[in-house]
């Protein structure tokens, strides 16, 4: 029968092993989340170059900047735990990292398709945060993740609401709002065409208001 010292030593080794496994688990979750954030940043950077929609370009510029800051903040937490951040996927195996896929062909299918992809990508990122938060985390790291998680959820909710509004307007062609939306969408999504139309309308208005001799 093992004495109390042996039993105490075994218990201590089991505790250390448990901590090691737990630590490895939370570090792997953070590494995966870091890769997701860098993917999200790259996706929005690509999106702002691809879109001709001025509103979306402004949105993507802001979101790309926010995701870069979030990724940097999380990478600092990884370094603090002794892990070097990996952004090329070499340490993530077959983990699906395509959080946001804003390709040029997507923008040719209308704003709803783009918004739908954003909602999907933000959902993937939300799930990654939920998984990371389910691990045993240092208090400072948990506080950072909770703050970022709230930001991601707010972004997802906002774009989901925008998608619903866009689809309602598009699917109601017989309403005044639907007709106006379908008529003006090609103009509002193309800044060059918008400028030409504004210039033409201004010239026509000036001509009509010019006093007759």
d(C-alpha 198, C-alpha 196), whole Å: 6
Please check whether residue 89 lies inside any domain of the structure: yes
In DSSP notation, 144-170 reads HHHHHHHHHHHHHHHHHHHHHHHHHHH
Number of domains forming the structure of the chain? 1
Please check whether residue 50 lies inside any domain of the structure: yes
d(C-alpha 194, C-alpha 200), whole Å: 10
Provide the b/e sequence for 147-159 (b: ≥16 CB within 10 Å): ebbeebbebbeeb
Listed residue (78, 98, 100) closest to 29, CA to CA: 78
Q: For 76-116, what is each residue's pLDDT tens digit?
A: 988 888 878 776 543 443 344 567 777 766 776 678 888 88
CATH classification of the domain holding 110? 1.20.1260.10
Please check whether residue 96 lies inside any domain of the structure: yes
Please check whether residue 141 lies inside any domain of the structure: yes
Residue-by-residue pLDDT tens, the chain, 213 positions: 445 544 444 344 344 333 433 445 678 888 888 888 998 998 899 889 888 888 889 999 999 999 999 999 999 988 888 878 776 543 443 344 567 777 766 776 678 888 888 999 899 899 989 989 998 888 999 999 999 999 999 999 999 999 998 877 666 555 555 555 556 665 555 566 556 756 766 666 667 666 665
The whole domain housing 19 covers 13-171
Please check whether residue 209 lies inside any domain of the structure: no
pTM of the model: 0.65
Q: What is the tally of helices (H) and strands (E) in the chain?
A: 7, 0
Please check whether residue 184 lies inside any domain of the structure: no
Instruction: Report the pLDDT value the prediction gives residue 113, as an integer from 0 to 100.
Output: 86
């Amino acid at each position: 029968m093992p004495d109390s010292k042996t039993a105490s030593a075994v218990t201590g080794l089991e505790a250390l092993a448990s901590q090691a496994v737990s630590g490895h688990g939370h570090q792997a979750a953070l590494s995966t989340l870091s890769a997701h954030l860098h993917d999200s940043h790259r996706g929005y950077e690509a999106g702002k170059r691809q879109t001709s929609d001025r509103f979306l370009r402004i949105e993507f510029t802001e979101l790309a900047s926010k995701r870069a800051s979030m990724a940097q903040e999380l990478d600092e937490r990884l370094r603090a735990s002794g892990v070097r951040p990996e952004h090329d996927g070499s340490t993530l195996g077959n983990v699906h990292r395509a959080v946001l896929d804003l390709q040029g062909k997507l923008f040719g299918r209308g704003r709803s398709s783009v918004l739908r992809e954003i909602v999907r990508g933000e959902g993937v990122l939300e799930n990654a945060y939920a998984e990371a938060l389910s691990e045993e985390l240092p208090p400072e790291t948990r506080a950072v993740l909770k703050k970022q998680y709230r930001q991601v959820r707010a972004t997802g909710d906002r774009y989901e609401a925008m998608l619903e509004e866009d689809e309602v307007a598009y699917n109601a062609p017989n309403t005044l709002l639907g007709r106006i939306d379908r008529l003006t969408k090609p103009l509002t999504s193309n800044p060059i065409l918008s400028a030409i139309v504004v210039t033409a309308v201004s010239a026509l208005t000036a001509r009509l208001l010019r006093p007759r001799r």
